[in-house]
């Protein structure tokens, strides 16, 4: 019991320690409190803005945009990766687009997206889709092409049909890499949505940060940053939980 | 795959070539909205920028920021990450902080950095370093922890001093994962560079892009975008080249060598 508590403190002490140092620095006047409001001020804003729904509303906008773009990328990307891994023609057609295009910073295309899709939600979703598509397709492609051929052969030998092989052999074998692709893409989705909201929008957490920083109210900025962090953490945990349930034969530790 | 190489290359180039051709034809025929410009107009704009020297000034500015920020971020990420991997105390200090901050887009701190460091180079370099730190830290930490203990024990058994174990056993064994982290950090650096230049200041390649938007010179905007994309791509390829030189001994006989 005591050992457990000690272990817990030993693992998590840095966050409270940092908060105390932060508060001490502000209280002693070492840093301008305009730039760095005290812990209490940020906490007050966090509670008030959550209670009046402003933070929840903007967080809802950001998360729903991120999830929509992400799900579209997953729905289109995973079958696409399977097709690339299974058919030489598809692979030769699309390989350069995905593998040469992978390191290209696609964020540069965002201005073009705003012209095509307008400044609101559609351009954010479309851009999130594009940014998530790359890690999902590339990781899943390696997953699908890494399925051991002898598994497929033995399934064929047992007389399994093509659809059975796809469903019962290839999908389960590729599932761990599908999930690692999705897990890479999920934080990308949130980052991209917040980023594009900061560049130009009138709703969402990215907008919230920009607008409150122009009003020099940094307590609100930090509160929004905390909310973004919590959303990211929650989504990642949800993804891990899903993986834990679906890939039950190769579980990773949650936490 | 020594099969017909050239036919494969043709298939590879098919879609990009078709898109470019379609873009050019439809664009010059006026079927596309003006903001899409045409590939030839973009090339002309690039040439125009290159002749006036604007391009190189902007490139130098952006390159300086991303290089300085990335080197700072990656170096501190490697140092702290290695320390965290080797020492449980350091690990327990940084783990909760990193696992919380990792999911926050670092660009959200840009307003704070702008106030702290001003509108010039310093704020961009700082935010790029800040966002490059996290992936490199995580990769280095995992790299050290996943080094095969047997290797270290064997070295200890043969009486190697700690520094030898560090430089000759630990670092080489961790190097592949270190590079993976650095590569992600580099990608983050370019994303943050772009956003910081567009939001925070008007300098570097970001200027060319936003200038093009403001003055309805979409060819200029695309020229900036193309430069930015090429810069990011080239940086990644340079990193990969360094990687395959450093890891020469480790990729022999693996699939990666076959693929190249």
Contact B228 A93 (CB under 8 A): no
Cβ partners under 8 Å of residue B213, min gap 6: A111, B221
Return left, alpha or beta for A31; rule: phi > 0 is left, psi -120 to 50 is alpha, else beta: beta
Residues of A in contact with B195 (CB under 8 A): 107, 195, 198-199
Q: For every residue of B6-64, which 3-state class applies, written as one string?
A: HHHHHHHHHHHHHHHHHHHHHHHHCCCCHHHCCHHHHHHHHHHHHHHCHHHHHHHHHHH
**φ, ψ for residue A147 (rounded to 5)?**
-65, 125
pLDDT exceeds 60 at position A173: yes
Chain-centre distance for alpha carbon B203: 20
pLDDT at A137: 93
User: Is A50 in a helix, a strand, or coil?
Assistant: helix
CA separation for the pair B206, B208 (Å, rounded)? 5
CA separation for the pair A207, A213 (Å, rounded)? 10
Q: Does B31 touch chain A (CB under 8 A)?
A: no
User: Is A38 in a helix, a strand, or coil?
Assistant: coil
pLDDT band with cut points at 50, 70 and 90 for residue A255: very low
**Whether B103 contacts A190, CB under 8 Å:** yes
Residue of A36, A87, A107 best to disrupt the B interface, most CBs of B under 10 A? A107
Contact A35 B232 (CB under 8 A): no
CA separation for the pair B89, A80 (Å, rounded)? 45
Contact B187 A15 (CB under 8 A): no
- Residue B88 structure tokens: 């449980």
Express each pLDDT in A211-239 by its tens digit: 988 888 888 888 999 899 889 888 988 99
Q: Does B238 touch chain A (CB under 8 A)?
A: no
Mean confidence (pLDDT) of chain A: 86
pLDDT at A7: 76
Q: Mean pLDDT per segment of 10 residues, for chain B of length 260 residues?
A: 68 86 86 82 88 87 92 95 90 85 82 82 91 92 88 90 89 89 90 82 77 82 88 91 85 56
Q: In chain B, which ranges are continuous DSSP H helix? A: 5-29, 39-52, 54-86, 88-101, 110-117, 121-145, 149-157, 162-164, 171-199, 205-214, 218-246, 248-251, 255-259
Q: How many Cβ atoms sit within 10 Å of the Cβ of residue A12? A: 13
CA separation for the pair A115, A208 (Å, rounded)? 23
Contact B232 A104 (CB under 8 A): yes
Express each pLDDT in A178-189 by its tens digit: 998 998 899 889
Cβ partners under 8 Å of residue A17, min gap 6: none
pLDDT at B253: 59
More confident residue, A247 or A74: A74
Chain-centre distance for alpha carbon A201: 20
CA separation for the pair B218, B28 (Å, rounded)? 14
pLDDT at A215: 85
N-terminal to C-terminal alpha carbon distance within chain B: 11
Q: What is the largest CA-CA distance in chain B?
A: 76
Of A18, A95, A221, the CB nearest to B112: A221
Residues of A in contact with B109 (CB under 8 A): 225
Q: Using only C-alpha atoms, what is the Rg of chain A?
A: 23
pLDDT exceeds 90 at position A61: yes
pLDDT exceeds 50 at position A134: yes
User: Is B226 in a helix, a strand, or coil?
Assistant: helix
Q: What is the ipTM of this complex?
A: 0.79
- Residue B37 structure tokens: 């410009």
pLDDT at B258: 47
DSSP structure string for A58-102 = HHHHHHHHHHHHHHHHHHHHHHHHHHHHH-HHHHHHHHHHHHTTT
CA separation for the pair B105, A126 (Å, rounded)? 19
Q: How many Cβ atoms sit within 10 Å of the Cβ of residue A225? A: 22
**Whether A160 contacts A194, CB under 8 Å:** no
Mean pLDDT of the A117-131 span: 91
Express each pLDDT in A2-25 by its tens digit: 777 777 777 778 888 888 888 888
Residues of B in contact with A103 (CB under 8 A): 187, 232-233, 235-237
pLDDT at B254: 60
């Amino acid at each position: 019991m005591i050992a457990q508590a000690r272990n817990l403190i030993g693992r998590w002490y840095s966050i409270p320690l940092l908060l105390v140092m932060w508060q001490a620095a502000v209280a002693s006047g070492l840093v301008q409190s305009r730039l760095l409001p005290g812990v209490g001020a940020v906490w007050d804003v966090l509670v008030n803005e959550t209670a009046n729904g402003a933070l929840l509303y903007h967080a809802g906008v950001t998360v729903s945009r991120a999830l929509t773009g992400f799900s579209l990328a997953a729905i289109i990307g995973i079958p696409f990766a399977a097709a690339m891994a299974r058919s030489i023609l598809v692979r030769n057609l699309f390989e350069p687009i995905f593998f040469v295009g992978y390191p290209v910073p696609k964020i540069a295309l965002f201005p073009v997206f705003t012209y095509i899709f307008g400044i609101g939600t559609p351009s954010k979703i479309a851009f999130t889709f594009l940014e998530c598509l790359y890690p999902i397709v590339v990781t899943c492609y390696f997953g699908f092409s890494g399925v051991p051929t002898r598994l497929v052969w033995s399934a064929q030998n047992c007389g399994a049909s093509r659809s059975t092989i796809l469903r019962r052999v290839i999908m389960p074998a590729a599932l761990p890499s599908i999930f690692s692709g999705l897990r890479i893409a999920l934080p990308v989705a949130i980052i991209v949505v917040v980023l594009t909201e900061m560049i130009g929008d009138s709703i969402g957490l990215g907008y919230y940060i920009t607008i409150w920083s122009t009003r020099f109210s940094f307590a609100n900025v930090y509160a929004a940053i905390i909310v973004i962090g919590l959303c990211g953490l929650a989504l990642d945990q949800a993804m891990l939980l899903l993986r834990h349930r679906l890939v039950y034969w190769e579980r990773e530790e949650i936490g | 795959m020594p099969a017909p190489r050239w036919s494969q290359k043709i298939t590879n180039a098919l879609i990009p070539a078709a898109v470019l051709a379609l873009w050019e034809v439809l664009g010059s025929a006026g079927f596309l909205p003006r903001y899409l410009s045409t590939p030839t107009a973009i090339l002309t704009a690039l040439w125009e920028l290159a002749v006036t020297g604007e391009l190189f000034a902007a490139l130098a500015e952006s390159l300086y920021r991303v290089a300085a920020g990335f080197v700072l971020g990656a170096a501190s990420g490697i140092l702290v990450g290695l320390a965290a991997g080797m020492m449980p105390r350091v690990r327990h200090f940084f783990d909760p902080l990193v696992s919380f901050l990792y999911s926050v887009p670092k660009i959200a701190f840009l307003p704070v950095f702008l106030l702290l460091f001003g509108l010039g180079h310093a704020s961009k370099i700082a935010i790029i370093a800040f966002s490059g730190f996290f992936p490199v830290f995580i990769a280095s930490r995992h790299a050290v922890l996943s080094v095969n203990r047997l290797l270290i024990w064997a070295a200890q058994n043969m009486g190697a001093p700690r520094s030898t174990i560090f430089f000759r056993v630990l670092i080489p064994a961790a190097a592949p994962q270190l590079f993976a982290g650095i590569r992600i950090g580099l990608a983050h650096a370019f994303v943050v560079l772009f956003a910081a230049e567009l939001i925070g200041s008007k300098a570097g390649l970001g200027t060319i892009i936003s200038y093009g938007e403001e003055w309805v010179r979409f060819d200029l905007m695309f020229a900036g975008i193309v430069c930015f994309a090429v810069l990011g791509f080239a940086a990644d390829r340079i990193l990969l080249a360094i990687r395959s030189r450093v890891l020469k001994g480790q990729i022999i006989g693996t699939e990666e060598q076959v693929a190249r």
